Every structure is written in C-alpha cells, then in structure tokens.
Chain A
Amino acid sequence: MTLIFVLIVWAAGWGLNVMIARSKGANTAAARFAVPVIFGVTVLAIWEILVRGYDISAVILPAPSAIWTTLTSTTDVLWGDFVQTFLKGALSGYIIGCASAVIMAVIVDRYDFLRRGLLPVGNFVAALPIVGTAPILVMWFGFDWHSKAAVVVVMVFFPMLVNTVAGLRDTSVMQRDLMRTYGASYMQTLFKLRLPAALPFMFNGLKIATTLALIGAIVAEFFGSPVRGMGFRISTSVGQLALDMVWAEIVVAAIAGSLFYGLIATVEKGLTFWHPSQRK
C-alpha cells in the first residue's frame, strides 16, 4: 500500500517536471526555479510516506515533519550553536585566513623565487587532509572557538593563496606595459590593475573557502568543545539517538552554508561585473 502511494507521488512529481521541462517555457526563470523545488518536495514527501508507512523508528530515520518540529521548537539552542560555530569559529577564521592568504600572495608574487618555491608546496598542501590538524590545534588553543578559528585558518589559507597568486599573474604584457608608460609605481599597478584583475580568481578561492570553513569548524568540535556548537550538538545527539536534533543541525548548517556562499557570489557579481563569466 505504502509502495503504491510512493510510486504515485513519484510519478506525479516527476511527470510534472517532465511536462515543465518539455514545455515552451522551460528556459524561463520561473521554470528553472520551480523544477528543482518540485523535485525536492517530491523527495521529502516520499521520505515522509516511507517513514510513516513502514513505521521506521525515529532512531534510524526521523520523518521530515518531526525534524521540522524540532527545528522550530528548539530555535534558541540552535541559535546558540550557530553563534558559537559559525559566527565565532568559522567566520573569524575565514576572515583571518583569507586576509593573510591575500597578503602572503602579494608578497609571494613580488618575489619570483618565492612563487616558484611556495606555489608547488601550497598546491600540495591544499590536497592534504588538513582536518587532521584539528586535534593538535584544539590542544594548543583550548576547547573554545579560538581553536576552531585556527583550524579554519589553516584550511582556507592554501586554496586562497594558490588562487590569488594565479589571479595576480592574470594580466597581459600589454596591460602592464601601458601602466609603465603611465609611469605607475608598483603600488599603483598593484591596486589599479593587478588586484582588480585578480578578483575573479580571488572570488573562486573565497567560494571554495566558505565550504571549507564550515567543515573545519564543525569537525574541529568533534575533537573537543564547550557544551554548545553545531559539531558538539551533532556528536552528543547522535550518542543520545536524538536524530531529529542532528537533522535539525544539518538543516541549519546547510542553510548557513548556502547563504554564506550566496553572499560571496552576490558580492562577486557586484565587483567583477566586467568579467566575461558575469555577462548575460
């Protein structure tokens, strides 16, 4: 019975999407928005039906409605965790890490020897499982948000460095020669030509770093934290089999991550409107 119901819902949702995708209006903004939303709602509905129909225990998979109830009834706890992990840990680490990476990149770019030496090392480090430094940094900086910020700094530094250095080299000889004929100093060339030209690359790094920052802050809390924070709540709620709370935290993390990414992407659109990738 449940299975038939699931099939009906799936067929309805998917059929609707097929209809929209094949219709004439498939390229409009409304269709582009509606289709993924319908898909998401269908998946949620099937999830709910399956959990209810087969009477799946809440310690294995809570229903979306149960997660929503937890989400709305424990907003103060969730907000406290959000402040601890995101605003204090991830955001401060993100700002410190990205800012120092940009400064380092300008220095690296100034000296060719450093660039040839540091860039391969940076590329190498960017591919390593840096989350592994979390236990060490928690030991050094204590359980509070400072250690989480430190993990985030280490995680975002190298991707940001590599991208910024690549961006600073993205000016043509013509452009640099023009600056020289104007008699521009190094600083003027840097601020008026090369940093603006590097912006698309820098934003690429900044966008990669948003996800890394959240991952770093949450995983670092698995290694020790005060009694609040998203990572702490997830690991303790898993221990208490309060999976609805875990899902609620994951929803908060997902929303925070997407909004953070969206914010950076919006700033990018405003600042690099001249770049071909932003043209409509």
Chain B
Amino acid sequence: MTSEDIKNLILEIIKDIDDEADFEGLDHDKALRDQLELDSMDFLDIVMELRKRHKLQIPEEDYPHLATLNSCVNYLQPLLKDA
C-alpha cells in the first residue's frame, strides 16, 4: 500500500464509525482524536477494523502510533507492504 492508500483506508474506517465526520482541513500531523472528536471507544474501532480487514494484530502498546494520519502511515506501511 502506498502512503496515500493507507491514509484513505484510515479515513474510510473513520467515515464508517461516524458518517458525519468532516475531513476538510484535516492536519495530517495532528491527533485524529482531537480533530474529529473521536473518543477512546471510537479509537478502538480503528484498531479492530484494521484487524478485521487486514488481519493486523496491533498490540495495545502500539496504539499511540495511530495518533495522526502521518504516524499511521509510518507505522502501518511496513505491515501492509504486500496488501
């Protein structure tokens, strides 16, 4: 997956959690949670959807790597290189 694919994947999952999520002006280096009003319960959905869709097991201590869109790319790209 390219970095663009990974960003789209994350945004698609968020859209699925909240169909009114507004991505306009989203800063790729700022926390998704703060910008999109996601709480910790919503955030777990991202982790679980990644697991369901791509069989990714993300350990709890790695959750902080999914904080921003760009950190998602950095963390997920090696894991999804063949996807």
A binds B: no
The residues of B with any CB-CB pair to A shorter than 8 Å are none
A residues bordering B, Cβ < 8 Å?
none
